[in-house]
Amino acid sequence: MDAMTTASVLPPPPPLPGASVAPTASAPAASGSAAEPTPPVAVPPKVRIASPGRVAGAAAHLAALGVVGPAVFTALLGLFGSGFGLLPALLIGVVVLVVFVYALFGVAWFERARVDGLYRLGLASLRPRRSPKTGFMGVLHTIWLQAIDPLQWRAVASFAVATVLGLATVTAIGVVSWGLGLAVSPIFGWSDTRLFGLLPLPGIAAPLTGIAAIIVALGVIVGLAILHGVIVRAIFVPSREAQLVEQARTSDTRRAGAVRAAEVERTRIERDLHDGVQPRLVSIGMTLGLAQTKIDDDPEAAKALVAEAHASTKSAITELRQLARGIHASVLEDRGLDAALSALASRSHIPVTLDVRLPRRCGRAAEEAVYFAIAETLTNAAKHSRAAACRVDVRVREDGSLWARIEDDGLGGARIVPGGGLDGIVNRVTAAGGTARIDSPQGGPTTVEVNVPCAS
């Protein structure tokens, strides 16, 4: 269900859901800050750490890390030391320290991917941290968030532990090789064999010592591999209690978002009824009453008043339909997000380029959250940002989440106003278990990204 659509400028559209952001003097556009609620923690499946395949794989990993790991940490320590040593040169030292921070991220990303590939813990891929702030302070805040990222440091700690275990594994492999040499020494006629170069091993003592060394070293390798599995599971997989605490916190966040979104929506409906439909209906009643008084004395004037009331009635019906569409988009439920967004773009004041690629339907809550986030963003772009065009991209990501990105070429520079439309976007997406990022620097462009689990 792929679609690439461009909607041209059409007659004024109906107000879209949640289109109630009142921009401040310093916020002419629709957005400018970010909210990133934490998604629910997935409980990983039970893993057999001591299965033969995983033990063999862990031993191979440890042997490789025993060779590569020390070089990696030598390079990292060199970057760290160089950065601090060059701090008097200010810019050079700072640049080296930034490289050090993102080198740590690279090591952490590799370690997390390695552990997940070996043990199938269901770990999400590690992603760089981003600050909701903009400008130079946003860059500094992003680097700081990355430097203190607990997930990054957990992975680096796991890499360090694996390196130490890897050095022990490489040593044990060396002992196996030495034991093999002792075991086959009688075949090659080695008469002067010694244990550690000191104790002579005459006759059958040499092969027996070699076999014993092989058995002990192989046992050590297997034990190190199993220990590695236990340690990485303790590092990367939270305890059951921590999982329950995180799930409770996430549920509280989603519930608060749902309550807040409902409050914002109720306020919008009340305002639309009070400021739109209600005055129009009152006007219709007054017009019909005036026509009633003139129907005998001035029939022509009465007919004109009735015609005016009729036109106002049709306008009120249109407003009620638009209000109902804001509460519930029936086309979304009947035909899916692709068709709903096409209809939405066709009603937009400004040209909208749609790139919607959805191989399947997602959950109702996810589709509704993304639809209303896009609708609100397009409304704000048309009302406040002075945008000439807008682009909307929608995808289903590999992790099964529904992702959308809306960008306009307007002025930017807005902020989320409590109770406004953008506040409604964040709360609605949070209630669906997703995340929202709203970025609108001065001068534009304004970008809104939402990511919602399809099964929400």
| Domain boundaries 2-41+249-453, CATH class | alpha beta
| Domains of the chain by residue range | 2-41+249-453, 42-237
Give which of 415, 409, 407, 401 is closest to 449, Cα–Cα: 407
User: Hey, how many other C-beta atoms are within 10 angstroms of the C-beta on 250?
Assistant: 17
Give which of 337, 244, 259, 250 is closest to 36, Cα–Cα: 250
pLDDT for 5 equals 38
Question: Which conformational region is residue 227 in: left (phi greater than 0), alpha (psi within -120 to 50 degrees), or beta?
Answer: alpha
Residue 305 clears pLDDT 50, i.e. is over it? yes
CA distances for 421 relative to 20, 252, 274, 383, 440, angstroms: 5, 22, 18, 12, 15
Which tokens in the block code for residue 278?
A: 């209600």
More confident residue, 323 or 434: 434
343: exposed, middle or buried (Cβ count in 10 Å: 0-12, 13-18, 19+): middle
Which tokens in the block code for residue 1?
A: 């269900």
End-to-end CA distance of the chain: 21
Locus of tokens 């990204």:
449
Residues 6+ apart with CB under 8 A from 351: 6, 7, 8, 9, 388, 389, 390
pLDDT for 443 equals 79
What average pLDDT score do residues 269-291 get? 73
User: Hey, how many other C-beta atoms are within 10 angstroms of the C-beta on 300?
Assistant: 8
Residue 74 clears pLDDT 70, i.e. is over it? yes
Q: Of 75-84, 262-271, 324-333, give the range with the top mean pLDDT.
A: 75-84
pLDDT digits (tens, 9 = 90+) for 153-207: 999 999 999 999 999 999 999 989 888 877 777 666 655 566 655 565 666 667 7
Identify the helix (H) or strand (E) that includes residue 281: helix 278-294
Residue 325 clears pLDDT 90, i.e. is over it? no
Q: Of 164-168, 188-192, 256-260, 277-281, give the range with the top mean pLDDT.
A: 164-168
Residue 15 clears pLDDT 50, i.e. is over it? no
What average pLDDT score do residues 82-86 get? 84
Give which of 420, 402, 407, 399 is closest to 446, Cα–Cα: 407
More confident residue, 85 or 184: 85
According to DSSP, residue 110 is labeled H
pLDDT for 3 equals 39
